[in-house]
Amino acid sequence: MKIIRYTDTQKQEHYGSLLPDGSAERLTGTPYSGLTTTGEKADVQKLLAPVAPTSILCIGLNYRKHAAESGKPVPEHPVLFVKGQGALQNPGDPIELPRALRSDEVDYECELAVVIGKPCKNVTPEKALDYVLGYTCANDVSARDWQNKWGGSQWCRGKFFDTFAPLGPCLVTPDEIPNPNGLGIRTILNGEVVQDSSTEDMIFDVKTLIAFLSGSTTLLPGTVILTGTPPGVGMAATPPRWLKDGDSVTIEIDKIGQLTNPVKEE
C-alpha cells in the first residue's frame, strides 16, 4: 500500500491510499493502530509529509562513494546526528535558505527514509525489518558552512534548520519493498540528474542501522531514520553547486515516487 497524509477542503487531516490511476481513497485510523478503507474518494487539497515524526535520526557517510567524495574514511560504526521536528517539510512546500542565521552553502541530499511502526529496542538485524512501518523519500538538506566550519565539530546546527527535512510523497509499506537495499535513488536539480545511485551501496544496510540505533535505546513509533546519501552532492561539485532561490529539487526513489520542493530565501 502507498499511504498519503493530507488535508481536505475543511482543513481536516486524513490518511489515504493511492490507487493505480493516481486518485486516492480515504482511510480511517492511523498507520500505527491500523488503517481501514472507506471506499470514499479522498478529497486531497494539500499533500502533507506522510508521517509526523516523533524523532528524526540521521546517518552520515553511509555510502562508500559519498564518503570518498567527502574525503572521509569509511566509518567503523554508523555516524548519527539528529534533526528537530521543526525541520519537517511537506511535498511541494519550499526549502527555505536560512537568512537570520545565514547560510550561503545549502546542499541537497537524496535519502531513503525508514519509518518505525512499533516500539523497538535491542532488536537483531534478522528481526529489524519487522519493526518497519514503511519507506519514503527524504531530502537531508544541509547548510555546509554551519556543518563543517561553524558548528564546533558537531553537524546538528547545519542540519537542524526549519524545512531541512522534506519527506514524501507517500509511505510505501514493506510488502511492496521487501528489500530496501535494492532501490535506485537519485536527485534531480532543475531538471538535471545530479545524484544517481542505488541503496545497495550503503555501508550499513537498513537492517544493520535499525539494530544499531535500537541498541539500549527505544525507538518509538513514528521514528524516522534517514539512511545516508550517495555521491553527487553539491559540496563535491567543481565549482560547488549550492541551492539558490528559485531552484527546484526532486528526490526520486524506485517503487516510492518523487518528492519535489522549490527553494526560496527565508
pLDDT given for residue 221 in this prediction: 98
CA quadruple 212, 215, 137, 165: dihedral, nearest 10: -110
pLDDT given for residue 115 in this prediction: 98
pLDDT given for residue 88 in this prediction: 98
pLDDT given for residue 79 in this prediction: 95
pLDDT given for residue 240 in this prediction: 97
* pTM for the predicted model, two decimal places: 0.96
Contact 184, 253 (CB under 8 A): yes
- Residue-level pLDDT, tens digit, the chain, 266 residues: 999 999 999 999 999 999 988 899 999 999 999 999 999 999 999 999 999 999 999 999 999 888 888 888 889 999 999 999 999 999 999 999 999 999 999 999 999 999 999 999 999 999 999 999 999 999 999 999 999 999 888 899 999 999 999 999 999 999 999 999 999 999 999 999 999 999 999 999 999 999 999 999 999 999 999 999 999 999 999 999 999 999 999 999 999 999 999 999 99
